């Protein structure tokens, strides 16, 4: 590991680290350090063979000198007074351990719901880490590990963390996450009737808690969350939103022709925290003309210093992260694209069945994120939006995390009729 860094500097860096401001990681840095030290000890004591995906990452590191160099260096560049793996075998052991366990509920301050974000938090701050998490083969190998973890979270073995004493169905969690607003399959069951952790995470909300805006001209939010920002775009290749970032319609929708209808239109981006409702819905009535999943980066941030990481980096992530594309030919005669974006271990974008070619109404479910917080973009074709009905946010000059709260199915804009 690299030389020690003053604690005050480490604390300041952690407070602007990926996920801390977004609520992914504990407010208390010492909680992360304690958790990392415990993870390394626990993983070292495991006698289990590594999972198939972890073994594949090990094989990649052994055969690919470039991957091996940057992964080695990002571990070595972590300050010596930070906890974490000391070498590649310890890193692999930690990844294997994470993939076998569902997140535990914990009170605010000490909680660590996002184990891979915590594992990588110091490595992502290093020069080598900036490169490593952009390496295609390394990123793909991490995606395979996340897929194994998601499979575990989809299995009955993962629901033990839902217990009513100290788990996600405990009294404290029930109050914090307003579980009275949600459909609990069997409130008397030990695990609430949920078949797995992910079934709990993307649980259904009671319809009366998210009524659909009834007006003809109303365009609704596809998700719960906070406004990140909305902006008008003048060309398919505009660099907008964040300075010095390649953030364009062409990058977002993967092609100039696809981007063309949205030139002169609007991009509306919002952010979902880990506690938000994670199913997303159609903002307009119309017909789904195209559905596409874009597997891409997961643990990469914008290169320039980002004092909020989890929020400033959202513009960058909309162009490079794993994301979904749902194009809707709306009843207004204009096109809308709903773009759910995966962030870190929350790269599981899942679509509702049979969307392609389907007629949808305003508020029809389009899909969900499995575990974690995420970001959502909605692109509106030129001429569709008359005005937005929620306040804009300025993540550059203002508070990047202080956007107005939005609720799924509630109006965010008025259409030109």
**Does residue 161 sit in the same domain as residue 276?**
no
**Residues 393, 260 share a domain:** yes
Structural domains counted in the chain: 3
Whether residues 257 and 372 share a domain: the answer is yes
Nearest one of 98, 107, 97 to 168, comparing CA atoms: 107
Residue 174, CB half-sphere, CA atoms under 13 Å: how many?
13
Separation CA 335–CA 383 (nearest Å)? 10
Longest dimension (CA), the chain: 65
pLDDT band at residue 406 under the 50/70/90 scheme: very high
The DSSP 8-state label assigned to residue 384 in this structure reads -
Residue 318 belongs to a domain:
yes
- In terms of Cβ atoms closer than 10 Å to its own Cβ (0-12, 13-18, 19+), residue 345 is buried
Residues 265-288 have a mean pLDDT of: 89
Assigned token pair, 170: 């405990």
Domain assignment present for residue 163? The answer is yes
Residue 303 has pLDDT above 70, yes or no: no
Q: What is the pLDDT of residue 315?
A: 38
Residue 407 lies in a domain: yes
Structure-block tokens of residue 10: 């480490």
Same domain, 111 and 163: no
* CATH at 251: 2.70.70.10
Q: Which has the closest alpha carbon to 274: 209, 353, 132, 371?
A: 371
Assigned token pair, 277: 């409702």
Instruction: Count the neighbouring beta carbons within 10 Å of the beta carbon of residue 240.
Output: 18
| Kind and range of the H or E run holding 290 | strand 286-294
Residue 71 pLDDT more than 70? yes
Give the whole-angstrom CA distance, residue 158 versus residue 153: 5
Of 179, 318, 183, residue with least CA distance to 247? 318
Question: Can you tell me the mean pLDDT for 15-38?
Answer: 78
Q: Measuring CA to CA, which residue among 221, 331, 203, 225 is closest to residue 271?
A: 225
> Rounded distance, CA 296 to CA 23, Å?
23
- Which pLDDT value is given to residue 318? 39
CB 226 within 8 A of CB 311: no
Per residue in 218-248, pLDDT tens? 999 999 999 988 888 877 776 544 323 445 7
Residues 361 and 311 reside in one and the same domain: yes
Does position 29 have pLDDT exceeding 70, yes or no? yes
Look at residue 117 in the predicted model and tell me its pLDDT.
83
Predicted pLDDT of residue 319: 37
pLDDT tops 60 at residue 346: no
Residue 387, token pair as written in the block: 């005005």
Of the chain, the percentage scoring pLDDT greater than 90 comes to 55
Q: Where are the alpha helices (DSSP H) in 88-245?
A: 88-98, 115-120, 127-132, 136-153, 171-176, 197-201
- Alpha helix (H) residue ranges in 46-87: 52-63, 65-76
384 and 247 within one domain: yes
Mark whether 124 and 168 lie in a shared domain.
no
Looking at the fold, whether 331 and 227 belong to one and the same domain comes out as yes
Q: What is the pTM of this model?
A: 0.82
375: CB partners within 8 A, 6+ apart:
228, 269, 270, 271, 272, 314, 317, 318, 340, 341, 343
In this prediction, residue 347 carries a pLDDT of 53
Q: 75 and 85 in contact (C-beta within 8 Å)?
A: yes
With a cut of 70, say whether residue 393 has pLDDT above it. yes
Whether residue 175 is found in the same domain as residue 126: no
Does 100 fall in a domain? yes
> Which of 195, 223, 253 marks a domain boundary?
195
Q: Is it the case that residue 282 has pLDDT exceeding 50?
A: yes
> Are residues 67 and 120 located together in one domain of the fold?
yes
Q: Tokens 């805006």 — which residue?
A: 213
Grouping H, G, I as helix, E, B as strand and the rest as coil, residue 258 is helix
Q: Is residue 248 part of a domain?
A: yes
The SS3 assignment for 326 reads: strand
Tokens, residue 369? 């994120």
**Residue 201, domain member (yes or no):** no
Domain match, 320 and 381 both = yes
Instruction: Write out pLDDT tens, residues 143-202.
Output: 889 889 989 999 999 999 999 999 999 999 999 888 999 999 999 999 999 999 999 988
Query: Which of left, alpha, beta for 294 (phi over 0: left; psi -120 to 50: alpha)?
Result: beta
Tokens of 45: 């004591």
Instruction: Please indicate, yes or no, if residue 1 is contained in any of the structural domains.
Output: no
Tokens of 49: 């063979």
Provide the 10 A C-beta neighbour count for residue 78. Answer: 23
What crossing angle do the helices spanning 136-153 and 65-76 adopt, rounded to 10°? 70
Domain co-membership, 110 together with 236: no
Q: Give the mean pLDDT of the chain.
A: 85
Q: Residue 175 sits in which domain range?
A: 156-195
Q: Name the band, by pLDDT with cuts 50, 70 and 90, for residue 299.
A: low
Task: Work out whether strand 405-406 and strand 349-351 pair parallel, antiparallel, or are unpaired.
Answer: unpaired
Predicted local distance difference test score (pLDDT) of residue 317: 40
- Dump pLDDT digits (tens) for 320-333: 457 889 999 999 99
Greater confidence, 376 or 388? 388
Q: Is the residue at 2 inside a domain?
A: no
Residue 304: pLDDT band (50, 70, 90) is very low
């Amino acid at each position: 590991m690299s030389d020690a860094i003053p604690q005050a500097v480490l604390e300041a860096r952690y407070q602007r680290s990926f996920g801390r401001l977004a609520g992914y990681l504990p407010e208390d840095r010492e909680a992360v350090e304690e958790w990392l030290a415990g993870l390394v000890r626990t993983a070292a004591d495991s006698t289990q063979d590594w999972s198939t995906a972890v073994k594949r990452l090990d094989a990649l590191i052994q055969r690919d000198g470039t991957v091996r160099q940057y992964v080695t260096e990002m571990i070595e560049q972590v300050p010596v007074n930070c906890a974490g793996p000391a070498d590649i075998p310890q890193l692999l052991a930690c990844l294997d351990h994470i993939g076998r366990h569902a997140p535990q509920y914990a009170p605010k301050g000490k909680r660590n719901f996002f184990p891979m974000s915590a594992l990588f938090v110091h490595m992502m701050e290093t020069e080598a880490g900036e490169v490593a998490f952009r390496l295609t083969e390394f990123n793909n190998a991490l995606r395979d590990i996340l897929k194994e973890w998601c499979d575990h979270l989809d299995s009955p073995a993962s629901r033990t963390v839902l217990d009513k004493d100290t788990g996600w169905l405990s009294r404290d969690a029930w109050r914090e996450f307003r579980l009275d607003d949600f459909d609990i399959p069997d409130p008397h069951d030990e695990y609430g009737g949920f078949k797995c952790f992910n079934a709990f995470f993307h649980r259904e909300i009671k319809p009366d808690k998210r009524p659909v805006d009834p007006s003809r001209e109303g365009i609704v939010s596809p998700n719960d969350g906070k406004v990140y920002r909305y902006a008008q775009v003048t060309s398919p290749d505009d660099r907008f939103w964040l300075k010095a970032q390649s953030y364009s319609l062409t990058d977002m929708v993967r092609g100039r022709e696809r981007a063309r209808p949205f030139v002169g239109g609007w991009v509306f981006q919002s952010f979902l925290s880990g506690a938000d409702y994670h199913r997303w819905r159609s903002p307009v009535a119309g017909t789904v003309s195209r559905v596409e999943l874009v597997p891409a980066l997961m643990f990469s941030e914008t290169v320039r210093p980002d004092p909020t990481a989890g929020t400033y980096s959202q513009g960058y992530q909309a162009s490079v992260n794993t994301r979904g594309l749902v194009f809707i030919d709306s009843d207004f005669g204009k096109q809308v694209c709903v773009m759910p974006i995966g962030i870190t271990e929350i790269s599981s974008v899942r679509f509702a069945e049979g969307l392609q070619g389907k007629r949808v109404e305003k508020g029809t479910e389009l899909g969900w994120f499995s575990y974690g917080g995420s970001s959502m973009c909605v692109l509106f074709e030129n001429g569709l939006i008359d005005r937005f009905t929620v306040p804009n946010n300025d993540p550059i000059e203002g508070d990047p995390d202080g956007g107005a709260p939005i609720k799924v199915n509630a109006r965010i804009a008025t259409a030109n009729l």
